[in-house]
Each structure stands twice: as C-alpha cells, then as structure tokens.
Amino acid sequence: MAPILTYSENINSDSDKKFPYAIKEVEEKVNKELLTKFTGEKTTFLQVGPKDYFLPSGYRKEANHYYTFALRPNDVFIVTFPRSGTTLTQELVWLLANNLDFKKAAQIPLKHRFPFLEFSSLLHEEVKAELLKKNQSNPAKCEVIHKLSSPCWRYFQEMSERRFIKTHLPLSLLPPNLSDVGCKVIYVARNPKDVAVSDYHLCKAHISQGYNGDFEEFWKLFQKGHVPYSPYWEHIKEGWNSRSKDNLLFLFYEDMIKDLRKCIEKVSKFLGQSYKHEEIALLEAHLSIDNFKNNKSVNNEDFKELGVMLKDQEGFIRKGTNGGWRNYFDDKLNIEAERWIEDNSKGLDLQFSF
C-alpha cells in the first residue's frame, strides 16, 4: 500500500513560483460569435500561453493555483483531451490502485474518488446562480452546487489519503515538476474524429458549455482551436513528446477498446500492482461497455437532477466505441478532416486507429 502523506509533506509548495504564460481574451468579434454558440460562458473566452489553449473565463483566477499545485509523490494524474476515454481510465486506475475494491467503487461516485481538478473553472458564476435558483427549494442540492463550484485544488490540499486527480489541462499548464517528484501520470489519446463527436455531445448536454450549434459547425470550431482545451494537436503533442518519461504512461483509447485486458495489465504494471488472472478477468468484465454504461457510480446521473446536464440528452457515458465518427462526417467533411489530420501529423510519429 502506498504511504499516506499529510499536507505538510506536499512537494512544490513554493510560493514564489508564478504562472509564466500570458492569458489573453479572444478577439472581440470572434468572442461575440462564440458566446452565441457556447452559452455556458457569459463573459469571454481566453487563449493561454504560446499555444493559445482555449479556456473559459473562470480559468484566469485559478491558473496559478493549477500551475503551482503542491504535488505528492504518490499522486496519480490522468491527463486527457476531453472525451478521450477519461472516465474508463479513471475507473480502471482507481480499482487497480485500490485492491479491486468494487464495493467501495459502487458506493462512492467516481467524481469523488477521482476528482476533476479544474471543474470549478468551467462553471461560470452566472450559470451557478441559475442552478441555485432552479434548486432553491432543495437545500441539499444547493449545497452540492456550492461544492461543485469550489476550487478542487483546495479540496486536494486537505486530503490525507492518496490522491487521484483528473484533468483536461495540457501538461504545460500543470506543475512543471510533475515528472520529477514520483507522481504517476497517465495520458490517454483518442483519434480526433471520435473525440470531436463525443465532445460535441458533451458540450450540448452540459449547461456549463451550452453548445447550441450543429456538428459540422462544431467540427470547424474544433479545427480552429475554438472549443475548450483546444488546440487538439498541441495537447496531444505534449503528451506524446513526454512518453519516454519514467513516470508517464501514454495510452491510446482505441487500444483499450481493442484489447482491454492487455491495457489492464500494462496499467497495473505501471502502478506497481500485480493481480491474478481471474482478478483481471473480473475487472475486464466490470469495465466492459455494457456494464460501464449502466454503472451509476461513473455516469454523473445526479448532474441531470441538479440541472448541470440536460435530461433530454444522452448520458455521460455514450457509445464507448471506436469509429462512431462515420455517422457524422459526410464525404466532403471527411475529406477536409483527413487533410487537416495529415497536415497536423507531419513529423509526428503517432498513428491513430480510425
């Protein structure tokens, strides 16, 4: 069992360290148009650092807290571009690191076992106010909304047990010593077509994004780097170029779908765990898409009750398959996408399965 560290044993609590990148607002005309498409942002979108990472206005006040986040050697990070197999990887990693405690996993929602570092930055104050008004007759729900909007880095500071941390931030916006202190980092990549389709549905379903356009328009914004956490290729390149580091494991979601057992064994070895053949078989069955889609612990069903997710949209876990993009890209759009992928893959020794 990994040692339990107290907050006093955190690493990287250097108060002199400051966020080194410029944070600028998206050009006014572009921002005005984007605000009509992503109604969950009420102020302005931001572009961060030399790669112009596209983030909501709430990121500005928390950027330095994420960058100077006090690490612990036994932290486990999952870093992904949104909709790249994050949830499946979270459940897989948490169970492998916690002696396959399926009972505890069922009792405690995944978002509490494996919190989302920057979620509060995605929830605009005006959207929070709308949610509180909608749920004003239910104090318990209002308390949950307040907790959701509270900075997660503070919650992590107070934890005494081992920390499992989900983030969609690119590596360059996370603590620069992430690869030096012993943390385990798992970066998961997925082909951009399937990512865009899944992200499109997420942005339509969550009022924190509130996307109201069609898929073709979303894809064009995706290509331009005008959806949250883009540009996609810069995000992927940061993970790919760090794959040789001892503490970082780079995975393809497509490989997880094709051979889940092999992936389980690879992650188990990376985490320093060892399980019997029959135990791995149980975990494989637990993570199969049919079971996973019906797993209440991972599906954020309470978000629909709170109003964070629209009730008429698909659940948080959708298809979990590879190749669903074919139902969304017509021939013309696919030719355009292939050209974009080819242009951005030049010089990058990385091959996706489509």
Residues assigned a catalytic role: 168
Task: Output the CA–CA distances (angstroms, integers) from residue 166 to 50, 91, 152, 336, in the order listed.
Answer: 24, 11, 11, 32
| Token pair belonging to 199 | 């992200």
CB neighbourhood size of 4 (10 A)? 12
Which amino acid is present at 15? S
Task: Pull the structure tokens for residue 231.
Answer: 């540009």
Per the CB < 8 A criterion, the answer to whether 128 and 109 are in contact is no
Question: 82: how many CB neighbours lie within 10 A of its CB?
Answer: 19
Angle at which helix 192-205 crosses helix 331-345, to 10 degrees, equals 110
